[in-house]
Amino acid sequence: MKKIVLISSGQPSVNPRLVKEANALVLAGFDVSVIYSFWTNWAWEMDEQLFSTVAWKPVLAGGSPYIGNAVYTFSRLRFKLVRLIANKLTLKFGIAELAQGRASVELLRKAKSTKADLYIAHNLAALPVAARASNHHKTKCGFDAEDFHRQEVSDSSLDFNFRISKFLEDKYLCRCAYISAASPLIAKAYNQLYPRLNPIVINNVFEVRHLQKISKRSDNNLKLFWFSQTIGKNRGLEDVIGALNILANDAIELHLLGSYNKESENYFLGLFMHNKANLVFHKPILSQEIFSFSAQFDIGLALESNTPLNRDICLTNKIFSYLTSGLAIIASNTTAQKGFIENNEGIGFVYQIGNAAELAGKIDYLFQNRNILKDCKLKATQLATDKYNWELESAKFLTIISNNLA
């Protein structure tokens, strides 16, 4: 049985893309391990729930506040030091690799101790780990580009995140047997930089088994929904709250799901000038529960910014989650989202980023025209059934794996 190791500097429960790949590989008959590191407290319990349901082996590297606290504390101190060195002095001599991820040393140690036929990196901090582990065992590595990393934080070539990302991409992407990308425009961006890599698009879609029936409610309310790992400022939420303030409609609710603190809750409640009971916060849930939870709503909001470049060209799992959940979609007009809505007519609308009045008009149109809202929901479900699902994308993914292990 072929052995495959997936590597991430974050936690599996907050990376559904990694989990889907790991599950697909297990079903295809591979021996699969996922080496990961602790990232945030709120995902720890979610990890434990996830691990009880999967057939692959999770391997924690670099400790956590709950297990291996001494290693965790030391790695945090080391990370702060090497980040300072990388930013002020040099990226060379292995400094960039250490400065990209808190547990880079421990991830590499675990990866080298697990001999595999293929190592797959699932974020930039994991890329050097996968490349060096595969070189150690004389096997292959791959990289999943869920984002366009060098312009994930800033478009300035002088920015530290740009510089370190470019350094690591230039050094390690050429060592990969394949690269997958989470949107056509991310694949295009990497292909322009590295023409020989020819990235393959694997969309952020979900299994058909998660498809939801379109909700039927007796009330006349319109329920808007947005989710992310964190509920925070400058993520488009100001646009939708501004739109709802314009509409001042008691029958329109906004539901937000993600990690938040009292400060952020008070910030958004402070912006919401109408019925504050219509702004509802929900704590994070397991990724596989998002679809049944989302099905109670009407419109999924994809409120991406168009800067830096990565935000403009990415297609997040939000849009595909909304399709699977049977929601109409209102999306900001990033290049990627505008193209997606135009290429899949009938699922919803786009609005100009920052234009709360235009967004209010789109929301009110669907509030006033329930037959069109229903048609958008039906079209979303149809697309998730016929075109955008993990059964189709996983076949592409497994073909890539098979070709590289032949």
SS3 328: strand
Directed axis angle between helix 69-88 and helix 104-112, to 10°?
Answer: 120
Whole-number Å distance between alpha carbons of 314 and 124 = 16
Packed helices 160-172 and 126-137: angle between N→C axes, nearest 10 degrees: 20
Q: Write out the two tokens for 380.
A: 């979303």
Tens digits of residue pLDDT in 354-369: 999 999 999 999 999 9
Average pLDDT, the chain: 97
Collapsing DSSP states into helix, strand and coil, what is residue 121? Answer: strand
Cβ pair 297, 255 in contact under 8 A: yes
SS3 375: helix
The torsion angles phi and psi of 285, rounded to 5 degrees, stand at: -130, 170
What tens-digit pLDDT sequence spans the chain (406 residues)?
999 999 999 999 999 999 999 999 999 999 999 999 999 999 999 999 999 999 999 999 999 999 999 999 999 999 999 999 999 999 999 999 999 999 999 999 999 999 999 999 999 999 999 999 999 999 999 999 999 999 999 999 999 999 999 999 999 999 999 999 999 999 999 999 999 999 999 999 999 999 999 877 778 899 999 999 999 999 999 999 999 999 999 999 999 999 999 999 999 999 999 789 899 999 999 888 999 999 999 999 999 999 999 999 999 999 999 999 999 999 999 999 999 999 999 999 999 999 999 999 999 999 999 999 999 999 999 999 999 999 999 999 999 999 999 8
Question: What domains can be seen in the chain, in order of their start residue?
Answer: 3-205+390-405 (3.40.50.2000), 208-386 (3.40.50.2000)
- CA of residue 203 relative to chain centroid, distance: 11
Q: What is the pLDDT of residues 213-235, one digit of tens each?
A: 987 777 889 999 999 999 999 99
